[in-house]
Amino acid sequence: MHYTVRHITRFTYETPITESMMEARKQPRSDGTQRCIQFGLSTNPASRVMMYQDHDGNIVHHFNIPGRHSRLTVTAEALIECTPSPALPDRLGINAWPQLDAIVASGEHWEMLNPSAFAKPTERLLALAGELGIGRDEDPMTLLRRLTADIAARFEYSPKSTRVDSPIDEALEARKGVCQDFAHIMEALARHVGIPCRYVSGYLFHRADSLDRSHDGATHAWVEALLPDLGWVGFDPTNNLLAGDRHIRVAVGRDYADVPPTRGVFKGKSAVKSELAVGVSVGPARLGIAGEALPFVPWMSREATGVVTVSDSAQQQQ
């Protein structure tokens, strides 16, 4: 399946500022069953956009706008090919836990096993682990499938019920949140029993017949767990899904703090408050007769029209 993605972020400042310095993680990854065929990132006011690859393999674009401006728009457009993942087993063998422990013992994945800023054990999290019976009584795959379903069933999907910097205790206490919260909770529970787990930011294509709880027109988040013989396997606790060819991966990290779509600072005498609007569109792409990509024409151009007074990352995840 081929998809086009257009992701627009628009900042509006109360008074003109003198400089913006920003980095963006919006380019879909090319690994596994996914390939980013085309990508472009532009800014208005115009700037020279540079790029580098971070230690997790994410592509990071960065730019500097030194001129005076009161508005900044960052537009990313991508064409991606996603192929179905190989069929996954319902469960793993009796040696799965010893095999996983041997992988962990190498120390290669210690970052994805230890607590991180947003995915760490708390009293409420440990209480939930007890409530759900999280342990090693069942194989890792069975446990993760059940955990995905339990989070989807026990937590209400409620946009704007949490903030981008909310600790997991807020969602745990209210039993509601958004995809970012559910991913952090699942990460923390999986790490608690010794399963390396990482946060994935990206997009989800919503089919007309899908029953997804997450909203169209926004970014999405889920988790990947490291399993013996299978490698990194994606689980979407928001929608009770195994990550498949509708999930478009952009960046991976320990938690959201590692992979915000945009992050930056500005100089000037403007109040620290800024207003922004975000729009995301994902849709199927048409290919030429020979399989070559046609000029980039998104299937829809739903740009942001509303304005909110929260951070860029917060609105995109809500």
Q: How many CA atoms lie within 13 A of 46 on its CB side?
A: 0
Residue 214 has pLDDT above 60, yes or no: yes
Strand stretches in the chain, DSSP E: 2-17, 19-24, 34-44, 50-53, 59-65, 69-82, 156-157, 176-177, 197-204, 220-227, 231-236, 241-242, 247-253, 262-267, 274-284
Q: How far apart are CA 12 and CA 163, in angstroms?
A: 20
162 and 295 both lie in a single domain: no
Q: How far apart are CA 32 and CA 21, in angstroms?
A: 32
111 and 184 both lie in a single domain: yes
Q: How far apart are CA 223 and CA 184, in angstroms?
A: 8
Average pLDDT for residues 65-75, to the nearest whole number? 91
150 and 46 both lie in a single domain: no
Q: CB within 8 A of 244, min separation 6: which ones?
A: 84, 85, 234
- What is the residue range of 248's domain? 104-256
75 and 111 both lie in a single domain: no
Percent of residues, the chain, with pLDDT higher than 70: 86
The per-residue pLDDT of the chain, averaged, comes to 87
pLDDT of residue 267: 87
64 and 77 both lie in a single domain: yes
236 and 112 both lie in a single domain: yes
Q: Is residue 90 part of a domain?
A: no
List the structure tokens of 5.
Answer: 């993605």
Confidence of residue 282 (pLDDT cuts 50, 70, 90): confident
122 and 55 both lie in a single domain: no
154 and 266 both lie in a single domain: no
Q: Is residue 88 part of a domain?
A: no
pTM of the model: 0.87
Residue 194 has pLDDT above 70, yes or no: yes
- What's the pLDDT tens digit per position in 132-167? 999 999 999 999 999 999 999 999 999 989 998 899
Average pLDDT for residues 203-228, to the nearest whole number? 90
Report strand pairing: 247-253 vs 34-44: unpaired
Considering only residues 65 and 211, tell me which one the structure prediction assigns the higher pLDDT.
65
Average pLDDT for residues 233-239, to the nearest whole number? 97
Considering only residues 52 and 279, tell me which one the structure prediction assigns the higher pLDDT.
52
- Among 36-40, 161-165, 249-253, 285-289, name the one with the lowest average pLDDT: 285-289
- CATH assignment at residue 34: 2.60.40.2250
Strand stretches in 146-238, DSSP E: 156-157, 176-177, 197-204, 220-227, 231-236
pLDDT of residue 270: 60
Residue 288 has pLDDT above 70, yes or no: no
Last residue of one domain, picked from the residues 229, 256, 283: 256
267 and 238 both lie in a single domain: no
Q: How far apart are CA 1 and CA 246, in angstroms?
A: 8
- CATH assignment at residue 121: 3.10.620.30
CA of residue 221 relative to chain centroid, distance: 3
pLDDT of residue 313: 43
pLDDT of residue 277: 59
Task: Give how many domains the chain has, as a whole number.
Answer: 2
Q: How many CB atoms lie within 10 A of CB 176?
A: 18
167 and 212 both lie in a single domain: yes
Sheet with 59-65, edge to edge strand ranges: 50-53, 59-65, 19-24, 262-267
pLDDT of residue 286: 63
180 and 278 both lie in a single domain: no
